Amino acid sequence: MSSTADFRSQLNALSASAARKPEDFGEGVRLLFSCGSRNLPLALAQAEACGVEARGVGRRHILVEVQNGTPTADWLAGEGAAIARYFERIGGIDPQISIDRGPVDLDS
């Protein structure tokens, strides 16, 4: 399976997870989408054309952050698809998805 197909599978799994447990998403949750790039300046320049806000991290990585995100089916068809197309367009290397649910309260 190609990394692009794998990334799309990860997006579908993320959306299915949100459908099963919507309380795990939304306010305070950051969805983080990243991939490597052989040409970071060009990849960042193409982000706007793809309708994606991206930033460079280090010398060869692209990061797309979605604040307070809930990856519903509608989100997947819109913003999620735009991120996948962007990663495909730039030849993104090893695309990944992470979820940041905010700081852990150690006093609880």
CATH number for the domain harbouring residue 61: 3.30.70
**What mean pLDDT is predicted for residues 11-40?**
94
Question: What is the percent of the chain where pLDDT is above 70?
Answer: 93
pLDDT the model gives residue 25: 93
**What mean pLDDT is predicted for residues 51-76?**
93
Is residue 87 one of the residues assigned to a domain?
Answer: yes
pLDDT at 58 over 60: yes
Is residue 22 one of the residues assigned to a domain?
Answer: no
Is residue 65 one of the residues assigned to a domain?
Answer: yes
Number of compact structural domains in the chain: 1
CB neighbourhood size of 92 (10 A): 24
Is residue 20 one of the residues assigned to a domain?
Answer: no
Pairing between β-strand 30-36 and β-strand 55-57 as defined by DSSP bridges = unpaired
pLDDT at 1 over 50: no
pLDDT at 108 over 80: no
Beta bridge partners of 99: 31
Q: Which strand (E) or helix (H) includes residue 26?
A: none
Is residue 16 one of the residues assigned to a domain?
Answer: no
Give backbone dihedrals phi and psi of 62, rounded to 5 degrees, phi first: -110, 140
Is residue 70 one of the residues assigned to a domain?
Answer: yes
Residue 57 is part of which domain span? Answer: 3-10+27-100
Is residue 77 one of the residues assigned to a domain?
Answer: yes
pLDDT the model gives residue 2: 60
pLDDT the model gives residue 106: 45
**What mean pLDDT is predicted for residues 11-15?**
95
What lies within 8 Å, CB to CB, of 23 at 6+ separation is none
Mean pLDDT of the chain: 90
Is residue 56 one of the residues assigned to a domain?
Answer: yes
Strand ranges of the sheet holding 61-67, from the earlier edge strand across to the other edge: 55-57, 61-67, 30-36, 93-100
